[in-house]
Structure 1
Amino acid sequence: MRNYVQPGDSITFTATAAASSGDGVLVGSLFGIASGDAGIGDKLVITTKGVFTMPKVSTDVMTLGAVVYWDDSAGLVTTDDDTGSNPRIGLAVTAAGNPSGTVNVRLD
């Protein structure tokens, strides 16, 4: 294929905000996990596929297979799509009750 670029598991771009390794990063509608630390203006690689342990809204109850969203202002996974303002990022692959601080998420 002459138009093939890459698998798409990792995307590199210029960071518009500081990020630490393991942080959730939202760029437009593209969501991924920071593969390393970056300051504003640095190159940042995000991983867009895989399963990650992520911080969640502690009071949200997530069942195995539940659709999860990203609250970018809080930097947390949530079950609330907030009338469309929290983008869908994947599915919970572990159950997480109230209270709990993390959930394993398979990124879409």
Structure 2
Amino acid sequence: MNNFIQKGRTITATLAAAVTSGQLVLLGNGKLPAVASGTYAANAEGEYNTGGVYALPSATNGTAVVGDKAYWDSTNNVVTITAQNNDPIGHFAAPKAAADSTANVRLWL
């Protein structure tokens, strides 16, 4: 296959804001969920993982079971179970209790 570039789980991108390693970002107008592989300054090229399960900061309300949809609240920078005004990022990969401040999320591929 002459046109194959890469598997596509890691994407190189330049973001306007600085990010820290492990931070979830939404890439482009399509709001592709990705996790920063390292810490990058604003306007610096970086590597972002678009697949896998990650422990992410979570809203401390609402419960979820494995397979429930996970959304990103960009205002508070947390995973939530609330779809309204939030972006879908994947599915919960482990149960989440209401008081949990982190949640395991499998990103959309």
TM-score (norm 1): 0.91
1:21 match: secondary structure: coil
- 1:92 aligned residue: 92
Instruction: State whether structure 2 residue 72 is matched by structure 1 residue 70.
Output: yes
Q: CA deviation at 1:101?
A: 0.4
- 2:43 aligned residue: 41
Q: 1:31 aligns with which of 25, 30, 33?
A: 33
Deviations 1:69-89 (A, max 9, x none): 11122111111111xx42211
Where has structure 1 moved over 3 Å in runs of 4 or more? none
- 2:57 aligned residue: 55
Q: How far apart, CA to CA, are the structure 2 residues paired with 1:8 and 1:91?
A: 19
Q: CA deviation at 1:30?
A: 1.3
1:77 match: secondary structure: strand
- 1:104 aligned residue: 104
Instruction: State whether structure 2 residue 26 is matched by structure 1 residue 22.
Output: no
**Aligned partners of 1:26 and 1:72 also within 8 Å:** no
Q: CA deviation at 1:27?
A: 1.7
TM-score (norm 2): 0.90
5+ residue gaps in structure 2?
none
5+ residue gaps in structure 1?
none
Identity %: 34
- 1:6 aligned residue: 6
